[in-house]
Amino acid sequence: MTTAAAYAVSAPDGHFEKVAIERRELGPHDVLIDIEYAGICHSDIHTARDEWGGAKYPCVPGHEIAGHVAAVGSAVTKFQVGDRVGVGCMVDSCGKCDPCLAGEEQYCVPGATMTYNTPVPEEFQPGGYTLGGYSTQIVVTESFVVSIPEGIGLDVAAPLLCAGITLFSPLRHWNAGPGKRVAIIGMGGLGHVGVKIAAAMGAEVTVLSHSLSKEADGRKFGAHHYYATSEKQTFRDLRGHFDLIINTVSADLPIDSYLKLLRLDGTLVILGLPENPLQVKPFTIAGYRRSLAGSMIGGIAQTQEMLNFCAEHGIGAEIETISADRIDEAYERVVASDVRYRFVIDTATM
C-alpha cells in the first residue's frame, strides 16, 4: 500500500486538515498517479458540507485531477511511467450494463464508482469508501484514466476533467454548432469553460449571468452576447430565442422563466444541482414543444475527445492556484461567486 498526504474535512461544518491516507496496492490494471493539481468543483462543496445527504467523513473531495503516472500494474497497456494523465468524477463502473457498453459509464445502471464518497470494498480503497484528489497520489484502474495532451498545462487542464466534460457532453449531444443559439446560465467554473467550448464549436453563444460584472471576460472567452438576469427586460428581449440553454447555476433558479427563452423544439439542460425540486408549468413546456433535460458529466471516451478538442482549440480553464491550507477560504469564495474562474490546489504544498 502507498501512504499519501491528503486534505480532509471531518464534519459538514468542519475545516480542512492535513491527513495521511492509504491507497491500495497496485493491481495488474492499476495506475499510480502523482497528483500535481486538483480543481475545486462546487460539487466538492455540496458533498463536504453534506448538502446532498449521505456524506462520509473524513471526506477527501476532488475529482478534477491532473498529474503524472508514477507506476503501472503488470498488465497496463495504455500508460507508461511519466505520462501526463487526468482523472475525473469516476474511477470505476460495472462495465456490463447498456450505458457502460455504450461508453456512457456515468449512467451505469448499478451506479458508477465516483472518485470520492462512494462505498467500495476495502481492497479498492482502504477505509471502505473512495477518497478523492485533494491528495498527493491516487490509484485508478487504467480504463478510467485519460491522457492530457501536450499543449495544455496540467494546472489549467485539471478543471476540464469535471467542468470541461460536463459542458462538452451536452453541447455535443444537443448539436451545438454553427447556426445554433446557445445560452449558458451562470459563468462560474462550469459556465466559463462552457462558453469557450461552445464558441469553439461554432455556436452563437450568450451568457446569462446575474450581473454584467464579468461581461468583458465572457466576451474574451468567446461569448457573442451577455445579459444580466437581474434585469426583467432580459426575459422580455430573449423570449423564444434559444435552441439550447445550459443551466450551470449551483443555486435555485425560477426555471420556468428561463424555459420561456427557448424557441420551437428548444431544450434547457440542467447541470447545476441544488437540492430543491424545480417548478415548471406544464404550459411552458407544451408551448413551443420545449424540452427540459439534464446531463451528468460524460463518458471516459468522450472525456478524452474533450481533452483533445481543448488542446486543438487552445482551451484551458481560467484558474487561481492555491496552496492546500487555503481550501476553506476558497470554498467561501466559490459560494460567494468570488472566483475567476476555478480554484486549483497545487498539491506540492501538501
Smallest separation (angstroms) from Zn ion to the CB of 317 = 12
Confirm or reject binding of residue 46 to ligand NAP (CB under 6 A).
yes
Binding range to ligand NAP, per CB under 6 A, among 35-43, 124-132, 150-158, 315-323: 35-43
- Residue matched to cell numbers 480532509: 8
Comparison of 47 and 284: residue with beta carbon closer to Zn ion: 47
In whole angstroms, what is the distance from residue 174 CA to residue 247 CA?
Answer: 14
Check if the beta carbon of residue 306 is closer than 8 Å to that of residue 298: yes
- Residue matched to cell numbers 475527445: 305
136 binds, among Zn ion, ligand NAP, none (CB under 5 to 8 A by kind): none
**Residue with nearest beta carbon to ligand NAP:** 188
In whole angstroms, what is the distance from residue 272 CA to residue 245 CA?
Answer: 12
Smallest separation (angstroms) from Zn ion to the CB of 87 = 12
Helix, strand, coil percent content, the chain, rounded in steps of 5: 30, 25, 45
HSE-up of residue 80 (Cα within 13 Å, Cβ side): 0
Comparison of 209 and 284: residue with beta carbon closer to ligand NAP: 209
The identity of residue 270, as a single letter, is I
CA trace torsion 302, 305, 307, 308 (10° rounding): 180
Among 26, 85, 100, 207, indicate the residue that binds Zn ion (CB under 5 A): 100
Among 297, 306, 315, 330, indicate the residue that binds ligand NAP (CB under 6 A): 297
The DSSP bridge partners found for residue 209 are 228
In whole angstroms, what is the distance from residue 318 CA to residue 340 CA?
Answer: 7
1 binds, among Zn ion, ligand NAP, none (CB under 5 to 8 A by kind): none
Comparison of 137 and 247: residue with beta carbon closer to ligand NAP: 247
C-alpha closest to that of 116 among 62, 49, 164:
62
Comparison of 46 and 340: residue with beta carbon closer to Zn ion: 46
108 binds, among Zn ion, ligand NAP, none (CB under 5 to 8 A by kind): Zn ion
Confirm or reject binding of residue 268 to ligand NAP (CB under 6 A).
no
In whole angstroms, what is the distance from residue 241 CA to residue 270 CA?
Answer: 18
Confirm or reject binding of residue 251 to ligand NAP (CB under 6 A).
yes
Confirm or reject binding of residue 171 to ligand NAP (CB under 6 A).
no
Set of cell numbers at residue 213:
460584472
CA distances from 90 to 62, 147, 229, 265, 290 (A): 11, 15, 34, 32, 31
Q: Does residue 233 sit in helix, strand or coil? A: helix
97 binds, among ligand NAP, Zn ion, none (CB under 5 to 8 A by kind): Zn ion
Confirm or reject binding of residue 345 to ligand NAP (CB under 6 A).
no
Comparison of 118 and 248: residue with beta carbon closer to ligand NAP: 248
Check if the beta carbon of residue 116 is closer than 8 Å to that of residue 59: yes
Smallest separation (angstroms) from ligand NAP to the CB of 147 = 21
Smallest separation (angstroms) from ligand NAP to the CB of 78 = 24
Smallest separation (angstroms) from ligand NAP to the CB of 79 = 25
* CA angle at 86 for the pair 244 and 145, rounded to the nearest 5°: 100
Among 90, 187, 246, 311, indicate the residue that binds ligand NAP (CB under 6 A): 187
Residues binding ligand NAP (CB under 6 A): 41-43, 46, 162, 166, 186-191, 209-210, 248-251, 271-274, 295-297, 334, 337
